[in-house]
Copies of this chain bind each other. A is one copy, B any other.
């Protein structure tokens, strides 16, 4: 799960925040801040097995610190509630049995108030642990892992809430949004990349998950990437031209799945194709905004329809690392992808590599050559999911800035689409 150089692991955090204690406090406060607009009832529901209740996210991220830091690291620590190991373990078989994932939404107790108390209890002890003399690098690395873990769940809380609100015929808003434009999209340009022997994977200068390692060489043929994300307007053309009913555009599994589900448009689009559901409630469909909430199957079909393809993750990373890590991330407050800004003649380069939407690649999620999962229960963090899933890159409008990097590998099943997911086109270059 993490870099093999633990001494350097906290560098990214210590660079941007004055200390690990501050970092801890900021990330945990960010989680609470995201809950501010919620009614108590909003914390309870689970709108599908893939999603979790907000209450569960709050407790699970806290349990992570209790289980992996406080229990092994604080000699006199007493667990807040012994039953929470069972209730709030997500998938760590090495820790023990756990409440079935699909039944997380049945738990009315512990109440939100009790979970807030749990968080405060753990926070207090975590600060003690952090401030303790003799803290070691491995402990620091685990704390950093726990903070990254919590940031992942910040994004999931928002996407799970969005899904739950969308399941409600009242279409409640999480919070009012900034006015969204209805601009015209920036033209799509093709950017050439020469390929050849490239290095991908995490570099040694900061935190990373174990699945980004080891950094290694890949050989790439010359390729081209679109200068921006595919837009709602472009995807609408695909929809209107009958894309969802044309099997030749789809992977066989994708077409079968889309038909079985009755899909005819991206998730959260209205039936009449002129509105979509956002965390600010229903809004107009902006043709210039990046298309969002499409599955891999839909992204792949769109690319084929457009005479292109999706990039591999190596192609994407080789291109993205040339750009500053900047964009419409959680900190922008938009909580919705936004249109690529119009470009001056002097800025012909690619846009939107980071933020807005996670970009589907064509790469199945698998181990890098020489990959070694972390020892113990934390080895379950990433490695055991390396089948049946597809890599996405670049972060979204719900990803915290400090959580992201060019080598970051997100992964979801090809049929999933409730995350902020979209796509950028690629094509092989003429040789």
Contacts and interface: CB of A to CB of B under 8 A. Distances in A.
Interface residues of A, number: 67
Contacts of A248: 93-94, 379-380
Contacts of A250: 384
Given A387-B253, A387-B414, A112 B41 contact: yes
Contact of A167 (B83, B106, B219, B380): B106
A42 interface: yes
A216 interface: yes
A366 B370 contact: no
A197 B112 CA distance: 57
Interface stretch (A144-152, A168-176, A226-234, A402-410): A168-176
B94 A168 contact: no
A252 B91 contact: yes
Given A41-B108, A93-B247, 9 more contacts: A41-B109, A45-B108, A83-B169, A197-B197, A216-B221, A251-B386, A252-B384, A253-B388, A363-B366
Interface string A242-266: 0000011011111000000000000
A379 B94 CA distance: 46
A247 B89 CA distance: 15
A414 B388 contact: yes
Interface in A131-159: none
A50 to B, nearest CB: 14
Interface string A366-400: 11011000000001100011111000000000000
19 contacts: A39-B108, A39-B111, A40-B41, A41-B55, A41-B108, A41-B112, A45-B45, A45-B108, A47-B106, A87-B170, A93-B248, A99-B169, A106-B168, A107-B167, A197-B197, A221-B369, A251-B384, A312-B369, A369-B428
A8 interface: no
Interface in A272-286: none
Contact of A387 (B254, B309, B366, B367): B254
A110 interface: yes
Interface in A104-130: 105-112
A340 interface: no
A362 B370 contact: no
Contacts of A167: 103, 106-107
